[in-house]
Amino acid sequence: MSLQDHIDGITVDRDEGGLLDIDREKAVALAVFLVPGLTLFGIFSVAPIVYSVFGSFFSWDTFTLESFVGLDNWIRSLTDQLIIHWPNMQELRYPMGALTHNLLWVVIHVPASTFLGLGLALLFADLKGRRFLRSMIFVGFTVPPIVIGLVLMFIYDPRAGLFNEVLRVLGQEQWVRNWTQSPQVAIYALIAGGIWVHTGFSMLLYSSALSAIDPSLLESAKVDGAGAWRRFRDIIWPLVRPVTAVVVIMGIIWVMRMFDIVYAAGGAAGGPNHAYSVLGIEVYRAAFRPPIDYGMAMVVALVQLFIVAPLALYIARMN
Amino acid sequence: MAEDDPLEPTGIDAGSGRATDHDQYLSVDDVPDIAPTAELSWRTRIIESIPAKRRALKYVVAITIAVLWIVPFIGLFMASIRPLSEIIGGWWHLEGMTVTFENYYRAWNYSTAPMGQALLNTFIVTIPAVLVVMLLGVMAAYPFARFEFPLKTTLFFLILLVMAAPPELIAMGNFNALREFGLFDTYMGLILIHIGWGLGWVVLFLRNYLLGIPEELEEAARIDGASRYQIFRTIILPLSTPALVSVAVIQFTWVWNAFFFPLVFMRSPELYLAPQVLPLMRGRVQVEWGLIAAGSIMTMAVPVLLFLFLERYYKRGMVAAVAD
């Protein structure tokens, strides 16, 4: 009897004999492996989400559930000027509402950090010491975001800040100001800081995609006389395009979760007169700062989820 | 030496012209691409070791960008070792620089919440939250990678949904739950929340890694009569070590850096975590830059050093976590 037959024999034995027995053994094993992790996951992650979905249709007495109110919380929250401020939006004046600010982050931050990340990945791709250069760009992503927010406050300080010193050196004194506390420009100053931190992450993803490209492919294109642009368009881009979807979606998720940087620069109010508040800040203030409005906090947090959930499922479907 | 012409035959095919110089042919593999360095004159060697103009320019641009990128952190470090008057005058003025550790001393003993205690608290919360997530994560990932069981797809979908959810979404439910359990404002409460929150991505990440381990190894062990637990302990755990290190580094950084969860669940100043203390140091009238900078440097030192030492695992994990 060959070894293969022997193995087949065992498999057949297992399949035919004592099906129930094996099933019980498997069920016990499954429980041992899954239950501890899934219990904690269920209690502390899934249950609170279900609780928020459920609670968003009820009125609250601070932290206590009261009575069913239908879509009341939803209508009240989505028409709140803290979330969407229509009059100011028409005049392009901040604050425009947290949701608008978040979308502005998406529109400016995500393309900028994606392009910069791709550019730096291409620039560093064939240099000696590229690992070190990449680490210098990436290290900001490992720093606590609250520190990033404080660093931004420091850079934009009117006297001690480097940014204003650069403006003074360039002779642009009229622009010198406390950037994080000036309502009409602060959000752009913070977005610039967000791009600074997040570009390292985009660059890392692009770098790993670039290193998977066969160098001989590029070499032969070079020999055939393809210029740098042609090589990028015809060889590199088609191969890194799938990564771009991931980079963009991760960027959107990161921006929609923005909290620490805004809190560091503007406190729980999200800047002077909520000038650059984001949805996360509004959830925190509604839920944990008096006057407490649990219903609104739940609605706003769910809005955050609704915006990113389809994107996350898209990434999952892609593979 | 002549330029390497792809059309010109080399080695054995190079014809008699060159071959007559040697008594014996080298095999094709032995023919070096370029002349041995020692045979070149010093002049040529120096010229060749300097990159071409275009390439040199590329280095200059790349290094400039990389240095500019970390200038804000250099500024933070400079602010942390200089007195407030010099910081307000501009940390980039180097003449007459006074180096002092006063800021670190004051941050360490900061009256509202001493940084020393806050850093200790952060370790107390982070280390169990990382270790437990690693163990429970790999245990739960194993059935996801290998077995069929009912509700598998539903659970998978739930995990994905939670990964997309913002941390703010679970704050309200957990706030009420922890107060119910009597775990609000305790280390244990925050640790449990970090475990529950981290498990989602860890299970997904490790599942993807385990799918890449060939099943034949387990098959062989099963034939030898090993139980599922023995297979898990002796084959799966050792083989998944690299992925577990990645999980440890990334989860450690995430828990250590987290600001929102401590802000909501830790209310007593003696339990404050390091990131939570930093915004409190701002002061009322004049921003205490030196104090903030020293506190920030102490807080960020741990994840940054971890990244620098385990950079390979960190980067690989980051890429795998989002790309898979």
Model pLDDT for residues B179-193, shown as the tens digit of each residue: 999 999 999 999 999
DSSP assignment letter at A235: I
Same-domain pairing of A273 and A185: yes
| A66 within some domain | no
- Please work out, in degrees rounded to the nearest 5, the angle formed at the alpha carbon of residue B247 by the alpha carbons of B244 and B251: 145
Flag whether pLDDT at A170 surpasses 90.
yes
Per-residue confidence (pLDDT) for residue A221, from 0 to 100: 86
Report d(CA B150, CA A179) in Å as an integer.
Answer: 55
Domain contains A200: yes
Q: Are residues A125 and A49 in the same domain?
A: no
- Whether the link from the prior residue into A291 is cis, omega within 30° of 0, is yes
Q: For position A107, which CATH number holds?
A: 1.10.3720.10
Would the CB atoms of B169 and A301 count as touching at under 8 Å? Answer: yes
pLDDT tens across B263-313, in order? 999 999 999 999 999 999 987 778 899 999 999 999 999 999 999 999 989
If asked whether residues A93 and A215 sit together in one domain, one would say yes
Using the predicted structure, report yes or no on whether residue B16 has a pLDDT greater than 70.
no
Instruction: Please report the pLDDT score of residue A21 as a whole number.
Output: 59
Residue A207 domain flag: yes
CA–CA dist A208, B153 (Å, integer): 30
Chain B: give the shortest CA distance to residue A268, in Å.
11
Structural domain boundaries, residue A19: 3-55
Q: In angstroms, what separates the C-alpha of A200 from chain B's closest C-alpha?
A: 10
Superfamily of domain B115-323: MetI-like (1.10.3720.10)
Q: Which residue from A minimizes the CA distance to B287? A: A154
Q: Kindly determine whether residue A48 and residue B174, on different chains, have CB atoms separated by under 8 Å.
A: yes
Question: CB B71 to CB A135 under 8 A?
Answer: no
Q: Which residues of A touch B88 (CB under 8 A)?
A: 159-160
Q: Quick one: A37 and A169 in the same domain?
A: no
**What digits encode the pLDDT tens for the residues A186-226?**
999 999 999 999 999 999 999 999 988 888 888 888 888 88
Per-domain residue ranges of chain B: 11-49, 53-100, 115-323
Residue type, A301: A
For position A7, what pLDDT does the model report? Answer: 47
One domain for residues A240 and A310: yes
**Predicted local distance difference test score (pLDDT) of residue B7:** 47
A121/A34 same-domain check: no
Whether the per-residue pLDDT at A22 is higher than 80: the answer is no
Distances, alpha carbon A63 to alpha carbons A60, A66, A272, B196, B228, in Å: 6, 9, 28, 22, 46
Which residue in the set A48, A154, A294 is minimally distant from B170, CB to CB? A48
- pLDDT confidence tier of residue A9, bands split at 50, 70 and 90: very low
Across A3-17, B223-237, B292-306, least confident range: A3-17
8 A C-beta contact, residue B284 and residue B301? no
Chain A, chain B: beta-carbon pairs less than 8 Å apart = 290
Residue A63 lies in a domain: no
Cα A41 to Cα B46: distance, rounded to the nearest angstrom: 62
The answer to whether residue A75 sits within a structural domain is: no
Mean pLDDT rounded to a whole number for chain B: 86
Nearest CA in chain A to B208: A319
Find the angle CA(A132)-CA(A138)-CA(A143) to the nearest 5 degrees.
125
Q: Are A250 and A58 spatial neighbours (Cβ–Cβ below 8 Å)?
A: no
Interface test with B, best of A52, A73, A113, A146 (most B CBs within 10 A): A146
* pLDDT at residue A2, as a whole number: 47
CA angle A29, A31, A36 (to 5 degrees): 125
What tokens were used for A309?
A: 């959930």
Judgement on whether residues A246 and A212 belong to the same structural domain of the protein: yes
ipTM higher than threshold 0.85: yes
Output the pLDDT for position B51.
63
Closest residue of B to A125, CA-based?
B62
A34 and A176 in a single domain? The answer is: no
- Three-state DSSP class for B3? coil
Residues of B in contact with A145 (CB under 8 A): 257, 259
Three-state secondary structure call for residue A67: strand
Residue A95 in any domain: the answer is yes
CB atoms A154 and B293 under 8 Å: yes
pLDDT tens profile A236-273: 898 888 899 999 999 999 999 999 999 999 989 998 99
Rounded to whole angstroms, the Cα distance separating A197 from A202 reads: 10
Determine, for residues B173 and A253 on separate chains, whether the beta-carbon distance falls below 8 Å: no
Let me know whether A32 and A111 are in one domain. no
In a domain, A229, yes or no: yes
pLDDT value of residue A274: 93
Residues A98-111 have a mean pLDDT of: 96
Torsion of CA B179, B181, B187, B191, to 10 degrees: -110
B45-48 CB contacts, 8 Å cutoff, 24+ apart? none
Q: Which residues share a beta bridge with A287?
A: none
Cβ-contact A130, A124 below 8 angstroms:
yes
Helix (H) or strand (E) holding B76: helix B53-80
Note whether A148 and A34 are same-domain residues.
no
- Separation of alpha carbons A98 and A92, rounded Å: 14
Task: Give percent of chain B with pLDDT exceeding 90.
Answer: 60
- A110 vs chain B: nearest CA distance in angstroms? 16
Which residues of chain B have a CB within 8 Å of the CB of A34? 139-140, 143
Asked if A37 and A102 sit in the same domain, the reply is no
The residues facing A57 across adjacent strands are: none
Which pLDDT score is estimated for B21?
45
Q: Which residue carries 């009897």 as its tokens?
A: A1
Output the pLDDT for position B185.
94
Report d(CA A222, CA A140) in Å as an integer: 35
pLDDT higher than threshold 60 for residue B23: no
Q: How far is CA B160 from the centre of its chain?
A: 22
CA distances in angstroms from B278 to A179, A192, A194, B191, B259, listed in the order given? 20, 22, 19, 21, 10
| Token output for B250 | 């990334």
Which pLDDT value is given to residue B59? 92
Q: Which band of pLDDT confidence, cut at 50, 70 and 90, is reported for residue B32?
A: low
SS3 B162: helix
Q: E strands along chain A, which residues?
A: 58-61, 64-68
Contacts of A125 in chain B (CB under 8 A): none
Chain B residue with the nearest C-alpha to that of A286: B172
**Does A89 fall in a domain?**
yes
Residues A50 and A121 in one domain: no
State which residue of chain A sits closest to B71, comparing Cα positions.
Answer: A162
